[in-house]
Amino acid sequence: MSVLKFTLMILAIAGCWRPFSWTSLIKHALYNAYTLLIISFLYSFTFTQFMDLILNVDNPDDFASTLYTMLTMCVSCYKIFNMWMNHESVAALIQDLTAGLFKPLVPAEIEIRRKFDKMIQTYAICYTAMIVISCAGNVLLSLLTDFRERKLTFREWIPYDYSSYVMFCLTYTHQYLGVISSCFVNISCDSLIIGLLLHLCCQITILKYRLKNITNDRTILRDCVRHHHHIIKYAHAANARFSKIIAFQFVVSTFVVCSSLYQLTRMTLGAYQISLITYMSCILAQIFIYCWFGNKLKLTSLQLVDSIFELEWITLDNKIKKSLLIIMNRAMIPIEFISAYLLNVNLDSFVGLLKTSYSAYNLLVHVQEQ
């Protein structure tokens, strides 16, 4: 049974994932060339924005204007590099979802998997649509305003004369190729993390079903104990693979929200402000989905204790009861994703991020007033 079809398709489009079916050397070379092209768009645009901060920016407004875009580009650069370098380990994580104890065995378990697969695809499609529509709206707005006035949408350091129409068009196109590539890299990596979180919830739900159908057969109980241990082990492996990405995203989101708020409060409402509001909303949605589904995994893992408690304990022998108590004792510790071993990925962290962003914004305003 295949999993994460839509997510893997978006990953392939973003240059982050070579499809499993592409096994020939020619296809490997072609896809690697495509990935390098995407990386060149991302890294070159990020570099020019960084150089603009170093060489050209001389006031807080220009600094904030360049910073929020550059930080997002930095996250995309890190994500695609991480996915490219760790392709094999991520592939192993995805393949583990369809093998061994994670493989659904009976029609009821297959239906549970099907429902979660549909849920993952729906969330991925909605998230993709939101980001793509926002990006398309930004491009259209820029074409109707900045492009007509022969003005670049984003600040960057340009070491050549782009006053001619051809050079301006090339520079303008380069900017948006970088931005669009960044959008798809973020969509794909975020959808993958969400998919893994929901598949862990799926496995816990399947484990609940298996425990409800337990009898005095110790073989079934042994498989349930191994399944629970494998879920915990898999969660730790997935968290280790993506914790740095999530941590980097948290830090960048804090700075981006702070920077965007600073710009919005210093400008009158116009086309640029509308695009900035849309951009900030996407950043907030991006970090919110991490926290929402991380919180869902935490609550689902804790519900396992209640499911075990609801079993027909009277009909079970003492050895099975003791084994179930051991599972309950371990299940009382929730399964959580932790970013860089410091911050739990849940709704409390999202609220903390908003508070930190607002505090940083107040500090920035205070410094500016001084």
| CA 263 from centre of chain | 26
Block mean pLDDT (10 aa), the chain, length 370: 84 88 87 93 94 85 79 91 88 88 88 93 93 89 86 88 90 93 93 94 91 71 86 92 88 82 70 78 88 92 86 78 83 85 82 81 68
CA 217 to chain centre: 41
pLDDT score of 1: 47
Compute the distance between CA of residue 78 and CA of residue 96 in angstroms, rounded to an integer: 25
Task: Decide if 41 contacts 181 (C-beta within 8 A).
Answer: yes
What the block records as the tokens of 339 is 């970013």
Could you tell me if 228 and 327 are in contact, meaning their C-beta atoms sit under 8 angstroms apart?
yes
Give the E-state strand segments of the chain in sequence order: 338-339, 343-344
Q: How many residues does the chain have?
A: 370
Residue 237's pLDDT is what?
92
What is residue 38's predicted lDDT score, i.e. its pLDDT?
94
Residue 194: predicted pLDDT: 93
Question: What is the CA angle 194-196-202, rounded to 5?
Answer: 105
| d(C-alpha 287, C-alpha 354), whole Å | 10
What are the distances in angstroms from CA 255 to CA 131, 154, 178, 225, 283? Answer: 20, 18, 20, 43, 11
CA distances (Å), origin 201, targets 88, 116, 223, 241, 334: 24, 9, 18, 18, 12
Rounded CA-CA distance 313/355 in Å is 47
Extract the tokens encoding 224. Answer: 């349930």
Contact predicate 121/6, CB 8 Å:
yes
Place of tokens 């740095």: 244
pLDDT at 270: 65
The pLDDT value recorded for residue 235 is: 93
Enter the tokens of residue 233. 């082990």
Cα–Cα distance for residue pair 253/345, rounded to 1 Å:
14
Q: Is-contact 157 55, C-beta < 8 A? A: yes
- The answer, as to whether pTM is greater than 0.75, is yes
Q: What is residue 85's predicted lDDT score, i.e. its pLDDT?
A: 87
Angle at 244 between CA 136 and CA 229, to 5 degrees: 115
- pLDDT, residue 48, reads 93
Asked whether the beta carbons of 152 and 175 are under 8 A apart, the reply is yes
Q: Interior CA angle at 98 toward 94 and 103, to 5°? A: 145
Are 336 and 297 contacting, i.e. CB atoms less than 8 angstroms apart?
Answer: yes
